[in-house]
Chain A
């Protein structure tokens, strides 16, 4: 029993990693540009389809990661230039507009690829597993996902906190008007950060496709999970994503182990509602300094 529980706990990290991978693109866009991107799930879906196309051309996940980043970042650029740039600072409008973008993406992808499920395999080197504890081996691919989550968080951290660009991004987030007065092109910063966040969503699609199913309607679940991570973790600090993902991932796996998946999901939702009551802006919420 303890052994099974321990192996379940280890599996929980991979579930948390999956949540973090899918949430990080959303966190960047929401945290910096202030846009609630309702099309986030569909961006992940486009990333997964890019991986499927790369797979059909003979490439594996390692090729799909940069390809999906570029494709979805460009998609983000188009969406930002065509729609979002006109409605910044109008949360309700961006919400509706990006929701519409999501629906359009789903329909367009269905027209291009048809309604059937698509196949994306995992790279052969990540095929096996390592025996840690309990009866089951720990799949290499899940270790790879944990690595990817750390890598994506680290990359975002470096971009936001160790580059000149990141400094400007943080300045714009802190005070848009003053930053503009000091000569920062705030519109350009918004555009670039939207592209970066979209690209991260694309990478999420590429690395999750080999263990999940790929269909035009897959985005919704990822979007819901990502919002839960952000609501719990908060967007004031990059630590919000791993914290939210870790708590939800572990809670979901351990509760599903103790009871079952349906009750696990239910209890996690209740738990989040209570958490919002205690931390209205998430655990790492962003509070204006006055």
Chain B
């Protein structure tokens, strides 16, 4: 068997190799991945970009995960075994994510991988996790419409950021005319589709929709259009450098948050610091977590994070998710008493609860996404957010939102899905839990 693997890797891509995969692959890998827990340690993959363009945010996720691992080990580890992080730098390049994911699963034989940030990186590694039956915990908010057997999504999906936010803007702020501004790629476009559906339902009005190329920093025209459109509120899903330039120029054209507030599901504490708090002042962000969340768990989390990584560090929602994902994983291994991927996927992780900094969170029993606490923050003079609204109870994640996809759902307990997943990867390449209802 051992030589079979070597030959297989060696012949990767060749038809002979592919034939061997089909016959000996799945069984062998399930067994070898289960070896992650042999000895006194359990290996956990940490897969983030520590260099390149998105290292800005990914390094903070990496830090949050290492903090959690350190804490878990300090409390005695999992089943008496220490968690050992296997760290890979993915260099902000999509193809490197795929290579390193393969290495973590096949060479290091980790129990599970904490990692990825952008949707592109997640999509590049998912086929690998599905083929070799690994477990990925993915912490970012994302556009949803996906649910893979091998991935657990601990960030917010659109229904958790928008379903309360849009009606709140219309009713509490009393602003009905929306102007949508986004970066020109999938996340903003999908998010805005959801926003438009919600506007229709709650009596809002879409007075304009515009997309700027990624990295665009000249917003004078868009701001002129906004002011001419009679918009009462701007809904922004701009990302990266564009966020900072847009808020700065918005203020320079003399528009304040009292005239037209910018409402967004993206702008975090990191961006308000980069644009200067005076430019963010009074604008609104919808997130499940802010650094200012007033719980004892969060106070202690922020303190511990700053103690480890420096006083001027700020925490944000994706980091919080990266942090509690690590605890989810540790608890799941303890519950399943195994690092076997199927044991984690079917027994360990679903239904897992944790008292996270932002409040008690839970992995949904059916759809691999996470119950979170929607909140709305208003940027204040020091760049932090005042939480002006919070959901009464945590919100169920809905990867196929009911407004856009009333006939789709994700349910890993559904018979049809169970049947589909029983087949091996080579027979049935669809590892998703999506079903028609």
Report A's interface with B, CB cutoff 8 A.
4, 7-8, 11, 14-15, 18, 110, 115-119, 121-122, 128-129, 134-137, 139, 141-142, 210-215, 217-218, 221, 252-253, 256-257, 260-262, 264-265
Q: In the complex, which residue of chain B has the Cβ closest to the Cβ of A11?
A: B220
Known: A119-B274, A213-B217, A260-B210. A136 touches B223 (CB 8 A): yes
Interface residues of B in 64-105 (CB under 8 A from A): none
Tell me, in angstroms, the Cα distance from A74 to B296 when the chains sit together: 52
A127 CB to nearest B CB, Å: 8
Set A4, A115, A218: member contacting B55, Cβ < 8 A: A115
Find chain A residues with CB under 8 A from B274 CB.
116-119, 213-214
Report 6 cross-chain contacts, Cβ distance below 8 Å, ordered by A residue: A8-B221, A139-B254, A213-B244, A215-B56, A256-B221, A261-B211
**Central interface residue in A4, A115, A210, A256, by most chain B CB within 10 Å:** A115
Determine if B216 is an interface residue (Cβ-Cβ < 8 Å): yes
Question: In whole angstroms, how far apart are the Cα atoms of A18 and B218 in the complex?
Answer: 10
**Residue of B at shortest CB range from A120?**
B276
Give the chain B neighbours of A218 by CB distance below 8 A: 241
Q: Which residues of A contact B275 (CB under 8 A)?
A: 119, 213
Knowing A117-B244, A117-B274, A213-B245, the reply to whether A135 touches B221 (Cβ < 8 A) is no
Q: How far is the CA of A260 from the CA of B221 in the complex (A)?
A: 9
- Apart from A117-B56, A211-B248, 13 more pairs, CB < 8 Å: A15-B218, A110-B51, A117-B274, A121-B276, A134-B224, A135-B228, A136-B254, A137-B254, A211-B252, A256-B221, A257-B225, A261-B213, A262-B213
Contact B184 A262 (CB under 8 A): yes
B215 in the interface, Cβ–Cβ < 8 Å? yes
Binary A-proximity of B206-247 (CB < 8 A = 1, otherwise 0): 000011110111101111110110000000000001111100
Residue of A at shortest CB range from B242? A213
Docked complex Cα distance between A221 and B249 (Å):
18
The answer, yes or no, to whether B53 is at the interface (CB within 8 Å) is yes
Q: Which residues of A contact B245 (CB under 8 A)?
A: 211-213
Chain B residues near A217 (CB, 8 Å)?
Answer: 53
CB distance from A44 to the nearest CB of B (A): 12
Given known A-B contacts A115-B59, A262-B212, A136 and B224 have beta carbons under 8 A apart: yes
B239 CB, nearest partner CB in chain A, Å: 12
Task: Determine if B169 is an interface residue (Cβ-Cβ < 8 Å).
Answer: no
Task: Pick from B216, B221, B271: contact of A11, CB below 8 A.
Answer: B221
List A contacts of B343 (CB < 8 A). none
* B residues in contact with A18, CB < 8 Å: 218
Q: Do the beta carbons of A14 and B241 come within 8 Å of each other?
A: no
CB distance from B318 to the nearest CB of A (A): 14
Task: Name the 10 nearest CB pairs between A and B, nearest first.
Answer: A117-B274, A213-B244, A139-B252, A213-B241, A256-B221, A137-B254, A115-B56, A11-B220, A115-B55, A261-B212
**A-contacting residues of B (Cβ < 8 Å)?**
51, 53, 55-56, 59, 184, 210-213, 215-218, 220-225, 227-228, 241-245, 248-249, 252-255, 270-271, 273-276, 278
Bound-complex Cα distance A29 to B245 (A):
29
Do the beta carbons of B253 and A129 come within 8 Å of each other?
A: yes
Give the shortest distance, in Å, between A205 (CB) and chain B (any CB).
13
Min CB distance, A264 to chain B, in Å? 8
Contact residues in A for B241 (Cβ distance below 8 Å): 117, 212-213, 215, 218
Q: How near does chain A come to B214, taking the closest CB pair, in angstroms?
A: 10
Contact B213 A129, beta carbon cutoff 8 Å: no
Query: CB within 8 A of A119: which of B221, B222, B255, B276?
Result: B276
Is there contact, CB below 8 Å, between B220 and A14? yes
User: Min CB distance, A201 to chain B, in Å?
Assistant: 17
In angstroms, Cα B221 to Cα A15, docked, is 10
Closest B-chain residue to A264, C-beta based? B221
Residues of the B chain whose Cβ atoms lie less than 8 Å from the Cβ of A135: 227-228
Q: Which of B218, B252, B278 contacts A141 (CB 8 A)?
A: B252
- When distances are taken between beta carbons in the complex, the residues of chain B under 8 Å from A129 are 252-254
One of B211, B217, B223, B271 near A262 (C-beta < 8 A): B211
B56 lies within 8 A of A265 (CB): no
- Assess A210 versus B227: contact at CB under 8 Å? Given A18-B218, A129-B254, A261-B221: no
Q: Provided the pairs A115-B56, A212-B245, A262-B212 are in contact, do residues A136 and B227 lie with their beta carbons within 8 angstroms?
A: yes
How far apart are A17's CB and chain B's nearest CB, in angstroms?
11
